[in-house]
Amino acid sequence: MSIDSNDGAPRRLHPLGVRLMHWTNAIAMFVMITSGWGIYDDYVIIPGLHFAQAVRLGSWAVPSLLWHFAGMWLLAVNGLAYLLYGIITGRLRERLLPIRSSEVLQTVRDTLHFRIEHDDLTVYNAVQKILYIVVIVAGISQVVTGLFIWKPVQFSGGVALLGGFQAVRWEHFLGMTVIVGFVVVHVVLSILVPRTLWAMLSGGPRLAPPAVRPPEART
Ligand code: HEM
């Protein structure tokens, strides 16, 4: 099945399910990041690095931990639904692959010349594709390392594989840093190119029906 082969009315660029999962993920990430900063501050990883109370969810570590556990279910269930949907419908493959090195170079050149507006919203540029893949992998890694930190005895094999308990804490922290970096760039770009933001709210343009190919071309 492909993203635009629904055999009926042309589908939107971002079907309702994708939009709901995207915005649910944004809320879940907000809860996870800000409550994570609340837990971190009780047991710092980088000496001297603290997060101000104003950006923490929860007045101290225990309420922050409760928020983190609540947000975890939303993040994991919603993320799993997004992945399954993306794999089963072929959306992930069609939107995020292939990535050609020539396209990467062209996108970097365009960005350096501040040409970030893309005329065709239905095609992600190569850098967008890489960033989305990186953040999806980082999200999966956060759920796995979070599980290992929560249940280090039950997942002792996994903890050992990733270098021990402190190493897993570091990996969880680095994953958060990657996601925060992504979100900053992602939100700034969606404000600079508001058509993309409107598309993620309204569904965006309808996709052209797939071209009918002769049977001998369908191998
Ligand atoms: C308020 C915060 C956010 C805003 C304003 C926002 C905005 C957008 C927009 C406008 C698009 C469509 C881009 C395009 O068509 O060119 C998009 C797609 C996407 N966003 Fe966000 N986003 C936010 C939060 C997040 C977060 C927290 C994540 C993950 C950590 C995320 C991950 C993604 C991914 C993976 C896609 C591609 C979805 C797909 O096509 O299947 N976004 N976002």
> 139 pLDDT exceeds 80?
yes
How many angstroms does the Cα of residue 132 sit away from the middle of ligand 1?
Answer: 8
> What pLDDT score does 208 carry?
76
Q: Which residue has the higher pLDDT, 8 or 14?
A: 14
Q: State the DSSP H helix or E strand holding residue 87, giving kind and residue range, or none if neither.
A: helix 61-89
Ligand 1 pocket list (CB less than 6 A): 18, 22, 25-26, 29, 95, 121, 132, 135-136, 139, 179, 183, 186-187, 190, 196-197, 199-200
Q: Which of 81, 85, 103 has its CA nearest to residue 93? A: 85
> 6 pLDDT exceeds 60?
no
Name which of 15-24, 68-77, 207-216 the model is least confident about: 207-216
**Average per-residue pLDDT for the chain:** 92
d(C-alpha 21, C-alpha 136), whole Å? 13
pTM for this model (two decimals): 0.90
How many angstroms does the Cα of residue 60 sit away from the middle of ligand 1?
Answer: 30
Give the right CATH number for 16-111+123-204 from 3.20.20.70, 3.30.110.30, 1.20.950.20, 1.10.8.80.
1.20.950.20
> What pLDDT score does 211 carry?
57
> 213 pLDDT exceeds 70?
no
